Structure 1
């Protein structure tokens, strides 16, 4: 796992909006802390910080391209889980390449 380039990247955490269903909130029986969510519609939530013009997840507490650490890794919403589960297959895919380019990082 130590050779996983995601652990020293984090560009995805500071590049994309993260929308998820309200049922994933802790108050609704899910695991995502309510304080890290912004309501978009009755059912749709967005991870706080990813709603900015320059998205950066509020749970991302590291420096892009240096170290990647998620403050809610165990409780992150499904889009983050799905993106992470694609690794290592998703490493270097189009979304990864776009995120890295946004931060001046070379493709993997």
Structure 2
């Protein structure tokens, strides 16, 4: 992930949605997602710990939403996380990104996607 990726100054999706996925992605089933960071939500699905109730916040999320964040298990993240894109990241609007950002008082990302600069960073 590029250091200019807006997700590194956001994290709203990780602190808004339930991140559920097929249990086969867990280490115990041959996948990569650490079992101790998941909770069972149905016979064949798990969710990331911390996202199974409201307010949600993934156990893998480090930092402050809207300021500076990172995923502590980025290389081991679930397909749900791998498939979620910031609005306009690939040139397409993602209303779910907007909803998560709005829930945390953040404005929607606007096309074309530009790096989000912090106040102390000069372009």
- Note whether the superposition's TM-score is higher than 0.5: yes
SS of 1:23's equivalent in the other structure is helix
8 Å CA contact 2:18–2:52 kept in 1: the answer is yes
Q: Of Structure 1 and Structure 2, which has the larger fraction of its residues in helix?
A: 1
For residues 104 and 91 of structure 1, what CA distance do their matches in structure 2 show? 22
Residue 102 of structure 2: SS of its match in structure 1? Answer: helix
Q: What is the root-mean-square deviation of aligned Cα atoms in Å?
A: 1.9
Quote the Cα distance in structure 1 between the aligned partners of 2:86 and 2:101.
18
Which is higher, the Rg of structure 1 or of structure 2? 2
Distance 1:90 1:52 in 2: 32
1:3-82 maps to which residues of 2 (within 5 A)? 3-82=4-83
Shift of residue 89, structure 1, vs aligned partner: 2.2
Runs of at least 5 residues in structure 2 that lack an aligned partner in the other structure: 110-123
Q: How many residues align?
A: 108
Between the aligned partners of 2:106 and 2:87, the Cα distance in structure 1 is: 20
